[in-house]
Structures are given as structure tokens and as C-alpha cells.
């Protein structure tokens, strides 16, 4: 018999040591270590600004403090402002701006705080340190999360506010006399609503849950005539008070944004239907017949389910489904439906936006092979990681010793699947090779301008992503783009007035306004000389011998 003997004394010693560890500090330290390691890895491999959107976020923040026309108007009216506001202190440093590390700092901090509050949220429900640690571990060890927290993308900013708001809201549900928690839930909901549009559905759902919690009828009245019967005035008063308290703060962000759109851009709903809106972009896919989830609820559901699965990891996802079922049918937990509704907000929101054509996801698991692109926007699925982490932890909490061992074994097995490449780090894949990628399609013209740019203002259509500004030596304050009034508008008619360089890409705004208009084109060739030509991109440099008349 091969045996190993452990005395109860030594077990007790280890137990005491474990219990003496401050778990929240441990989670925070682990999260910071993982965050720094993942960011260093991404930095060394050039992954931080791999996404095209990553640079756009950095540039928006940079322009607020350092551009031809600095100011808060540079925040624009499409992307919500909070992630950019958080970036501002860091993009002041050119190194942090160009390397993307400014974004890594914000997302990394959000990642660490998210890990901590996910631990606290799970502890709130399970009262188990081990299960709460499992939740934090599933969240922290997720390679997609580790990659995204190294980038300036806005997902982590939303996730942190989403988790904190949910935490305080659930805390309030547990004890509805804890008004401070409700106020904090509303405040972080306000932050989430100013981070990404998913946040709007969070505050809506939280308000809806409040309505359900204090539903003033014991039974839903069958007829209008019976409305007065069974009506509980006290509950109604409670609902009214708490709803007003919550909504005033939580929806204030949304109201601010609508007001901003009206004041700056003349249209409160500018973000939904301007040419820069997501919906306008989806129209191109629709015309090509490549919007598979549009008006197809099953496909919208499947697309987001599979995207969520791919972001979470197959085994962890399956475990989370088991945990979800266990939690759903556990009658001991009084507010389980409300809690699940809140954690499932990203799922509901994304299915709805896919269905309505407001967003698009291409994932190779489902996208037909004849589509031009089969990998796009898969990062939306990362919002399912907190939900999955909570459900896995709940499964762990409810399992016996063998079940716990199985959960841990599958946790390790999933890491192995990521390690062997069976499960790809799909957000990184999209950033480096998908349609979301900037690095997959760096034009030769970018290298050329980096080598040859000397000084002077550069007219370029930044929205069309003709080239990357952070990867060239052009200072932000020397760029004329669509947000620089009046430089942009004037330059499209009189290009020689401000610009020393003009970079245009076939069919972008500069090309159509200057190159395709015979009158303006005449001015272009009078004052500029073509210094770079490629099939898609032309670069003009101001002719120093010809002065503007």
C-alpha cells in the first residue's frame, strides 16, 4: 500500500493560515499581478492597439487636451464619453498615448476592481470564501479578459461599473432598508450608462426589478375593474420613493447624453442614426445580405450564445450553464430571478441589438464560409464572463467534494484548451486578424509617411482609418480631421489654406470632396505635389514654391 499520512494538527495549521489571509486583498494582488503580466505581454507583441477602435478611443481622449481645436466637444456624439474622460489624464503623456498604455492603465484598473467586486458579489450570495474566490479566478484567468484589460477598448470600463452597480443593487435587494446601497447602485449605473450603451439596459433592468420588487398588487389584476382590489398602497409608496431615488441618478447619465447630442450636434438621437452610427454601418452588411441575425431571433440568440461561449471558454461555459440551472431552481435564494435578470442584461441587450440590426457579430463557428469576413466584434461576448464566473462559483458552492474537484479539474482543462490553441483567444484573434483589426491591414503609405513627415498640418479622414496616427510621428495637434471646425470644412474646399500634407484613401471624405470634385482637384494639383501613390492611398505635400493667393 502506497500511503501518505497527514495529521489533523498540520491540516488545522493550514486552515488557520488560509483563514488568516485577507481574501479581498489576495484577489486584488492577484488581479494586479495578472494584469501587469498580460499588459507586458501585449505590449511586447504589439497587441495593445491591435484593434482599430483602440486607437480611436486614445485619439478622442487626446484631442480633448491636445489638438488643433481642443475641448470637450472632441468627445463627439457616437461613443459614450466616460471611457474617454478616464483616459484623459494618461494620454497627456505622448508615450502612453502612442503605445496605448494609457488605455491599459484604465482597463487594467477596471479589471482589478471588477475582480474584487465579483468576489464580493459572489460572497454576498453564497457567503463562501472558496466559491467567491472561484468566481474571481474564472474572471481573472480568462485569457480574453486578460487581453482586453490590456487594451484601451471600453469593455472593461463598462464591466467594472456593471459589476459594482449589480453588487450594490443586489446588496439592496438583500436588505431594502440599505438605501445607501441603492444610491451607490444608481451612481455606478449612471457610470455604466455613460460607458457603453449596454449600460442603458442595465439601469433599465434595475429599475424594472425595483418595480417587480415592490409590485403593489399581491396578484396581477385580471380585469381593469379589479385594479383597486388588492392594491397595496404602502408598497406603492415604497416603490415610488425608491424608484424616484434610483432613477434620478441612474438615468441622469442618459439624459445628459441626450442633452449633449442636442446641444453639440443638434440632434439628441445623433448616435442612433448619424452616418457614423452603428446602425448606418450595419446597412452596408444588410445590402450585401451579410447580416445573419437581423430580424431572426433564433440566429441572434445563437450568435450571441456562441460568442459568449467562445469568450468564456467551452468548459467554463458548460459549467456555468449547470450553475445557472442550479441557481435558477434553488428556492432557498429569494431574489434569484432578479439577480439572474441583472447578470443576464448583456445577453438580452446583445441579442436585441443583433436582432434589430444595431450591431453585428461575425464568428467563425457560425458565419457562413462565403461571407467576406468571418471574424468581427466577437469581443461583445466578453460581457458574459462575469455571469459565467458567478454561475461556475455557485456550482462549486453547491457541489460536494467530488463535484468541487470536477469543477476545478475542468477549470484547469479549459486553461489547457486555451494553451493548446483548441480554444482560441478569440478577442485577440479578432484584434490581430479579424475585421476589427488595425494591424492586419497596415498600409504601406503609413510607413512612408512615418519616414517622410517633417512638419505642418495633415488633412486626413480619421473616421475612414486611412492610416494610424499613433504609429506615425505626426503630433495630434497637427492633424485636421472631421472634428476640427472650421479647419476641416474649409480644407475640403480650399485644401491649401491650412494643410501641408493631404492623405486620402479611395472613397473617403477627403477623396470625394477634393479628388473627385474637378474644381477642388484643380486647387489640389496647383498647390500640392503628389509624393506617394498606391492603388488606394494618395499622399500630397504642399508645394513650397506656390503660395496661396
Residues near another protein, by CB under 8 A: 1-9, 11, 302, 306, 309-310, 314, 364-366, 402, 417, 420-424
Q: What is the 3-state secondary structure (H, E, C) of 310-331?
A: HHHCHHHHHHHHHHHHHHHCCC
Q: Which is nearer to another protein, 309 or 480 (CB)?
A: 309
Residue number, 423 or 513, with CB nearest to another protein: 423
Nearer of residues 48 and 382 to another protein, judged by Cβ:
382
**Minimum CB–partner distance for residue 392 and another protein (Å):** 17
Pairing status of strand 479-480 against strand 499-505: unpaired
The three-state (H, E, C) secondary structure of 256-268, written as one string: HHHHHHHHHHCCC
Q: Which is nearer to another protein, 291 or 312 (CB)?
A: 312
Distance from C-alpha of 128 to C-alpha of 143, rounded to nearest angstrom: 25
Nearer to another protein, 364 or 475 (CB): 364
- As a whole number of Å, the end-to-end CA separation of the chain is 99
Residue 1 or 287 with smaller CB distance to another protein = 1
Provide φ and ψ at 456, rounded to 5°: 100, 165
Per the omega criterion (within 30 degrees of 0), is the bond before 486 cis? Answer: yes
Residue 306 CB, shortest distance to another protein, in Å, is 6
Q: Using CA atoms, how far apart are residues 39 and 123, in angstroms rounded to an integer?
A: 28
Give the integer Cα–Cα distance in Å for 104 and 55: 12
Torsion sign over Cα 423, 426, 428, 430 = positive
Identify which of residues 12 and 372 has a Cβ nearer to another protein in the complex: 12
In the complex, least distance from residue 310 CB atom to another protein, rounded to whole angstroms: 7
Answer for the pair 187, 197: CB distance below 8 angstroms, yes or no.
no
Contact 319, 394 (CB under 8 A): no
**Are 437 and 46 a contacting pair, CB within 8 Å?**
no
Looking at beta carbons only, is 9 or 177 nearer to another protein?
9
In sequence order, what are the residues at sequence separation of 6 or more whose Cβ sits closer than 8 angstroms to the Cβ of residue 360?
281, 282, 285, 291, 293, 354, 376, 377
DSSP 85-151: HHHHHHHTSHHHHHHSHHHHHHHHHHHHHHHHHHHHHHHHHH--HHHHHHHHHHHHH-HHHHHHTTS
User: Shortest Cβ distance from residue 371 to another protein (Å)?
Assistant: 14
Q: Considering the complex, state which of residue 9 and residue 19 has its C-beta at the smaller distance from another protein.
A: 9
**Partners of residue 459 on adjacent β-strands:** 480, 502
Quick count: other Cβ atoms within 10 Å of Cβ 12?
10
Spatial contact of 495 and 538, defined as CB atoms under 8 Å apart: no
Beta carbon of residue 434, minimum distance to another protein (angstroms, whole number): 13
Nearest residue (CB) to another protein, 200 versus 317:
317
Q: Which is nearer to another protein, 7 or 19 (CB)?
A: 7
CB of residue 340 to another protein, shortest distance in Å: 23
Quote the least distance from Cβ 314 to another protein, whole Å.
6
- SS3 state at 531: strand
Q: Minimum distance between the CB of residue 11 and another protein, rounded to whole angstroms?
A: 7
In the complex, least distance from residue 5 CB atom to another protein, rounded to whole angstroms: 5
Query: In the structure grid, which three cell numbers stand for residue 327, read together?
Result: 441557481
User: Which of 368/549 has CB closer to another protein?
Assistant: 368
Residue 311's closest CA among 229, 212, 397, 383? Answer: 383
> Closest approach of Cβ 305 to another protein, in Å?
9
**Half-sphere CA count of 73, side-chain side, radius 13 A:** 13
Closest separation between CB of residue 349 and another protein, Å?
Answer: 22
| Cβ at position 54, least distance to another protein in Å | 24
CA nearest to 536, candidates 514, 507, 513: 507
Amino acid at each position: 500500500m502506497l500511503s501518505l499520512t497527514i495529521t489533523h494538527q498540520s491540516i488545522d495549521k493550514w486552515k488557520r493560515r488560509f483563514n488568516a489571509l485577507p481574501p479581498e486583498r489576495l484577489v486584488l494582488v492577484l488581479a494586479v499581478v495578472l494584469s501587469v503580466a498580460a499588459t507586458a505581454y501585449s505590449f511586447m507583441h504589439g497587441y495593445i492597439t491591435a484593434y482599430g477602435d483602440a486607437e480611436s478611443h486614445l485619439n478622442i481622449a487626446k484631442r480633448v487636451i491636445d489638438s488643433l481645436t481642443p475641448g470637450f466637444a472632441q468627445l463627439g456624439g457616437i461613443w459614450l464619453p466616460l471611457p474617454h474622460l478616464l483616459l484623459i489624464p494618461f494620454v497627456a503623456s505622448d508615450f502612453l498615448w502612442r503605445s496605448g498604455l494609457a488605455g491599459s492603465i484604465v482597463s487594467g484598473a477596471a479589471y482589478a476592481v471588477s475582480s474584487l467586486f465579483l468576489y464580493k458579489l459572489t460572497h454576498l450570495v453564497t457567503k463562501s470564501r472558496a466559491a467567491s474566490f472561484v468566481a474571481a479566478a474564472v474572471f481573472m484567468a480568462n485569457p480574453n479578459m486578460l487581453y482586453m484589460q490590456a487594451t484601451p477598448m471600453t469593455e472593461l470600463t463598462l464591466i467594472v461599473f456593471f459589476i459594482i452597480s449589480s453588487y450594490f443593487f443586489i446588496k439592496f435587494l438583500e436588505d431594502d432598508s440599505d438605501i445607501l446601497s441603492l444610491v451607490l447602485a444608481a451612481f455606478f449605473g449612471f457610470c455604466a450608462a455613460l460607458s457603453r450603451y449596454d449600460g442603458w439596459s442595465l439601469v433599465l433592468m434595475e429599475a424594472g426589478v425595483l418595480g417587480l420588487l415592490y409590485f403593489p398588487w399581491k396578484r396581477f389584476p385580471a380585469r381593469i375593474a379589479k385594479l383597486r382590489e388588492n392594491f397595496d398602497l404602502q408598497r406603492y409608496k415604497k416603490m415610488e420613493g425608491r424608484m424616484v431615488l434610483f432613477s434620478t441618478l441612474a438615468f441622469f447619465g442618459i439624459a445628459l447624453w441626450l442633452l449633449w447630442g442636442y446641444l453639440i450636434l443638434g440632434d439628441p438621437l445623433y448616435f442612433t442614426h448619424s452616418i457614423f452610427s452603428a446602425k448606418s454601418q450595419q446597412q452596408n452588411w444588410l445590402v450585401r445580405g451579410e447580416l445573419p441575425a437581423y430580424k431572426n431571433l433564433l440566429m441572434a440568440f445563437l450568435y450571441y450564445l456562441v460568442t459568449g461561449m467562445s469568450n468564456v471558454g467551452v468548459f467554463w461555459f458548460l459549467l456555468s450553464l449547470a450553475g445557472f440551472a442550479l441557481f435558477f431552481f434553488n428556492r432557498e435564494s429569494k431574489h434569484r430571478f432578479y439577480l439572474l435578470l441583472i447578470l443576464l442584461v448583456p445577453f438580452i441587450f446583445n441579442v436585441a441589438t443583433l436582432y434589430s440590426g444595431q450591431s453585428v457579430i461575425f464568428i467563425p463557428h457560425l458565419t457562413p464560409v462565403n461571407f467576406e469576413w468571418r471574424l468581427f466584434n466577437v469581443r461583445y461576448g466578453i460581457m458574459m464572463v462575469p455571469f459565467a464566473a458567478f454561475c461556475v462559483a455557485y456550482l462549486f458552492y453547491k457541489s460536494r467534494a467530488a463535484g468541487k474537484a470536477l469543477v476545478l479539474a475542468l477549470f484547469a482543462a479549459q486553461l489547457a484548451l486555451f494553451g493548446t490553441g483548441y480554444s482560441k483567444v478569440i478577442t485577440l484573434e479578432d484584434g490581430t486578424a479579424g475585421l476589427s483589426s488595425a494591424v492586419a491591414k497596415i498600409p504601406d503609405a503609413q510607413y512612408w509617411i512615418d519616414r517622410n513627415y517633417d512638419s505642418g498640418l495633415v488633412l486626413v479622414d480619421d473616421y475612414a482609418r486611412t492610416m494610424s496616427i499613433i504609429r506615425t510621428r505626426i503630433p495630434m495637434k497637427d492633424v485636421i480631421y472631421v472634428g476640427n471646425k472650421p479647419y476641416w470644412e474649409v480644407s475640403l474646399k480650399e485644401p491649401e489654406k491650412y494643410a501641408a500634407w493631404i492623405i486620402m484613401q479611395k472613397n473617403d471624405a477627403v477623396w470625394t470632396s477634393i479628388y473627385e470634385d474637378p474644381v477642388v482637384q484643380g486647387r489640389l494639383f496647383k498647390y500640392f505635389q503628389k509624393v506617394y501613390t498606391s492603388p488606394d492611398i494618395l499622399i500630397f505635400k504642399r508645394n513650397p514654391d506656390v503660395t496661396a493667393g
